[in-house]
Each structure stands twice: as C-alpha cells, then as structure tokens.
Amino acid sequence: MKGTATDPLLLSESEDVQERFREMVRETLSSVFRSFSDGSAFSGIDPYDLRGKVNGLGFLPEHGRGFEAVLEDTERVILPHLLRTWSTDYMPHLHSPVLTETICSELIISCFNDSMDSWDQGPAATELEESMVRGLTGLFGLPGGSDGCFTSGGSQSNITALMAARDRYCRERLGWDVRADGLPPDFGKLRIYTSEISHFSMDKASHILGMGYAAVRKIPVDEKCRVDVAAFERMVEEDAASGLLPFCAVATFGTTDFGSIDDATAMRGICDRHGMHLHGDAAYGSGLIMSDRYGDRVSAMSVCDSVTVDFHKMFLLPISCSAILVRDADLLRCFEFHADYLNRVEDEEDGYINLVGKSMQTTRRFDALKVYMAFQTRGRDGFGRIIDTAVENAAYLYDRVSKDGDFVAPVEPEMSSVVFALKGGDELNRKVRRRLLAEGTVIGQTVKDGKVMLKFTLLNPNLTHEGIDAVIDRIRTLGCECGNP
Ligand SMILES: *Cc1c(COP(=O)(O)O)cnc(C)c1O
C-alpha cells in the first residue's frame, strides 16, 4: 500500500523525507541550545514588551514561508523568552527540568502519534500502558485487582477519582445511577472532605461534577500543615448527624505549597467507620516512593481507594504525564461506553482492549512510554538519588533560613518545598520576588496565615548548597535595597 504523492514535510517511508526530517531535528536542537544563554531561568523581559514582540509574529500567511524561516523567527522571538526549566535559578513551582531520555520518548510518541483510545490506534501503546499501570499499582502498594489509567495531569486524575467515588456511593448507598440519570435528588447533601490547603482542583472537580464548591468541606490543618484528624472526624460526624452525605475524603501526600503529608492511615479509619472513599492526592509526593530514605513518608498511599500520581513533577518527565490508580478496577467503569465505531464489545472479548473505557479522554497521548523509558534508563536507585537530593536541599535551605534572624520560616519541610519570608512585611517580600524575576531568578510566592511568603520548590537535582547560599544572600541584599529605597 504505497502512496505515490510525497509531501516533503509529512513523515513517511521515503528516505528523502527522513533525511530532510533528520536535518530539521538537528536545526531545531541547535536553535534550542543557542537559546540556553547564561544559565539564568528567564530573560527578565517585561510582559508588555514581550506581548508586542509576540503579536508581531503574524498569524496565518497566505503562502507558507518554509520551515527554516519559521524556525528563525521562533528562535528570535519565542525561545529567548521561554522559561528555562533546567536552570537551577528556577525554583517556584512543581514544574521541573526534564530527563533527556524522555525528550527522546516524546520524539517517538510524536513520530508514531498512536492514540490510547482503542487497541487498533495503539497496539503496543495500549499493552505498554496496561503493563506500566500494573507495575505502578504494585510500586505504590495497591493490592491485586487494582487498576488505573494515564491522564493529562493531577487535576484530571483528581476529578476522575472524585467522580468514580461519587458514582459508586450513589449507586451503592442511594440506589441511584448517576451515569444514566444524572445527579440524585439529594445531590446538594453530598460532601467531600479535604484540608484547607489541599489543591484547588478539588473545588474545580466538585463544580464540574455538578456539586459545586459547597460540597467541599475544608478541614483545618495542624501546625505541620497536615489534616487535623480530630477535626475531620468531628466534621464528618456532625454532618452525618444533620443528614448530609459524606462520601469521600482526600489525603494529600505533599501539599502544593508546603509539601506536608496528611496522616492517611488515621483518615482511613474514619472513612471506614462512615463508609467513605479515601482518595490520595500524591501528585507531588508520589516521587518519594523511589527513595530508600524517605519512601516511608508516603507509604500510606497503599491504604487509599484511589491515588493521583504525577510524573511531570518530582519524576522530572515532560508535561504531561500523570495517572490515576484505583484499588478496585470496577471504580473506573463509570467511564465505560461502547461506540460502534470505536470499541465494540465483541473485539474486547477477543483481547483487543480499548482504554477509552477507563478514561475521561478519547484521543489520548502515549505518555506511558516516558515512564517506561525513564524507569528502565535510571532504575529505582537512579530516581532515588534525584529525590534524595531534592529533599536534602530543602532541609538545607530550611536549616539556613530558620536559624537566620533576617527570616521567618514557619514550617519544617517533609518534602522539597520551603516557605519563608524576609522580616519586614508583605510589600518587601513581593518586591524582592519581582526584582529576582527581572534578574532571571524565578522563585514562588504564597500566603501563610495571612502573610506573604517566598516559596521554593526544589526539584532540580543539579542545585547545590552553594546555589542555595547564593540565592539566600541575594534575597537578603535585595531586602536591604527594597527596604531602604
Ligand atoms: C500539582 C498538583 C495538582 C494538579 O496537578 P496538575 O498535573 O497540575 O493538573 C493536584 N494536587 C496537588 C497536590 C498538586 O501539587
């Protein structure tokens, strides 16, 4: 089945096309490397200035300009002002540098462009994802009979879990089929429990699921920024006594700002007493499982009914790469749907599994390849070293600032996030962060107990203690400059 026409820019078996593409990849990499510049994380350009440049690029020319001209414009206008995630001066978010072997995976993923919805759109892709999901359930301590699916990110993994939990609760406890009939008459009584500092995707998920923000009960946290378990139990008991329907709780393994880890084992006991689903949001903390030293801190992921794991955070894989894992494979059946054109029942009976039946998405990327290639390339000990470095860097940074009279550091880190402030007030801290950004050093900012804080999320294993010392010194200097204008 050989075509006769050959588009020179459409991947095919033509050797000319392949040679041309090889050259394009080489040129693209050269452009990328030329833009690495001085090691800083950001050019420091002002947003209005950047908007002007970008708007000058044009949209859709009547006639194509050819790849070289476009690459040149891209290198000139866009690449210099992209965020350079590999820079050790980049430390604000759960947003990581990427492992080069997984950039190669991305190239494979794009070249083949297989899709995860049906077996005939990705035969080996389907089988590898299934195999990786089985491995992951074991890695995170879930028993046989568990299952999972790759997703676009932690937010989608979380909404998947909450939807599965809600649908099961309605079916088993209220005798109501949400998939067929929509929300039950008593839907306004459904309640989800999660800490006041858990990820906002819980609120968004509740909204998308038709229950609104009102269904999300925020549990206060203790001095270590973990769910106050006694308060959680009280809230559930009071709500149940007043006729509300507590159906789900969320334990966060690594809160987005502080990296704090909830006591999922204690929460499990309360959930069991009240017939509730326990979801573990380990979008951040899942990486710790690779560490011999710190893996214990997240081992209670194994007591959860569902778990969110992100590979585009601590695991340093390119965006996007995430999974939802469930203790009971049937939980994901809420997504089952048979379309005549896509996933016929008779094919599935013959072993042609179609993953669309477990996912919110239809067309879906083969992200599992990145996990496979990175796991095999580095092994668990290779990842363990990356994680240990991140955790130990955070401990070092915390140790420095907590002993320093110029700073306040309210929470000792359990993972790789440190939140602290210069003494001198909110405005001073805001100014210092902006000044650093303009210099190309990107740090985060959040609020703790009503006070503006500087936030560091240390994921880059190339960051050294000297690098940490340098940024602390720079913050101190800027603090003096901004404080005494
Ligand atoms: C990052 C994060 C999320 C959201 O994940 P995305 O991959 O950004 O959608 C959810 N929960 C926690 C705790 C997170 O840190």
Model confidence pLDDT, tens digit, residues 207-221: 999 999 999 999 999
Nearest CA to ligand 1 atom 4: 154
Of the listed ranges 3-17, 124-138, 258-272, 406-420, the one predicted with least confidence: 3-17
Asked if the model's pLDDT at residue 306 lies above 90, the reply is yes
Beta bridge partners of 326: 147, 306
**Distance in Å, CA 344 to ligand 1 centroid:** 34
- Of 95, 150, 199, 206, the residue with max ligand 1 atoms within 8 A of its CB, to mutate for a pocket test, comes to 199
Average pLDDT (327-344) is 88
Q: 3 falls in which pLDDT band (50, 70, 90)? A: low
What is the per-residue pLDDT across 414-457, written as a single tens digit (0 to 9) for each?
999 999 999 999 999 999 999 999 998 999 999 999 999 999 99
As for ligand 1, residues whose beta carbon falls within 6 Å of it are 94, 153-155, 158, 199, 201, 252, 254, 256, 281, 283-284, 310, 322
Sheet holding 147-151, edge to edge: 147-151, 322-326, 306-310, 277-282, 245-252, 190-195, 216-219
The reported pLDDT for the residue numbered 146 is: 98
**Distance in Å, CA 322 to ligand 1 centroid:** 10
- Computed from CA positions of residues 130, 131, 137, 139, in that sequence, does the dihedral angle turn out positive or negative? negative
What is the per-residue pLDDT across 142-157, written as a single tens digit (0 to 9) for each?
999 999 999 999 999 9
Q: 340 falls in which pLDDT band (50, 70, 90)? A: confident
Q: 483 falls in which pLDDT band (50, 70, 90)? A: confident
Give the up-direction half-sphere exposure of residue 381: CA atoms within 13 A in the CB hemisphere.
0
Sheet holding 417-422, edge to edge: 407-408, 417-422, 451-457, 444-448
Determine which helix (DSSP H) or strand (DSSP E) holds 218, and give its type and residue range. Answer: strand 216-219
Task: Decide: helix, strand or coil at residue 456.
Answer: strand
**Distance in Å, CA 145 to ligand 1 centroid:** 26
The reported pLDDT for the residue numbered 343 is: 77
**Distance in Å, CA 95 to ligand 1 centroid:** 10
Asked if the model's pLDDT at residue 344 lies above 80, the reply is no
Asked if the model's pLDDT at residue 342 lies above 80, the reply is no
For residue 142, give the DSSP letter. Answer: P
The reported pLDDT for the residue numbered 396 is: 98
Average pLDDT (112-125) is 96
First and final CA of the chain: distance in angstroms? 73
**Distance in Å, CA 356 to ligand 1 centroid:** 23
- Of 150, 284, 315, the residue with max ligand 1 atoms within 8 A of its CB, to mutate for a pocket test, comes to 284
Q: 253 falls in which pLDDT band (50, 70, 90)? A: very high
What is the per-residue pLDDT across 355-403, written as a single tens digit (0 to 9) for each?
999 999 999 999 999 999 999 999 999 999 999 999 999 999 999 999 9
Determine which helix (DSSP H) or strand (DSSP E) holds 322, and give its type and residue range. Answer: strand 322-326
- Indicate which atom in ligand 1 lies nearest the CA of residue 256: 15
The reported pLDDT for the residue numbered 36 is: 87
Nearest CA to ligand 1 atom 5: 154
Q: Mean pLDDT score of the chain, rounded to an integer?
A: 95
What is the per-residue pLDDT across 280-292, written as a single tens digit (0 to 9) for each?
999 999 999 999 9
The reported pLDDT for the residue numbered 303 is: 98
The reported pLDDT for the residue numbered 350 is: 85
**Distance in Å, CA 138 to ligand 1 centroid:** 22
Of the listed ranges 35-39, 432-436, 469-473, the one predicted with least confidence: 35-39
The reported pLDDT for the residue numbered 485 is: 57
Asked if the model's pLDDT at residue 4 lies above 70, the reply is no
The reported pLDDT for the residue numbered 337 is: 85
- Of 256, 320, 367, the residue with max ligand 1 atoms within 8 A of its CB, to mutate for a pocket test, comes to 256
Of 347 and 77, the one with more pLDDT: 77
**Distance in Å, CA 376 to ligand 1 centroid:** 25
Q: 38 falls in which pLDDT band (50, 70, 90)? A: confident
**Distance in Å, CA 198 to ligand 1 centroid:** 10
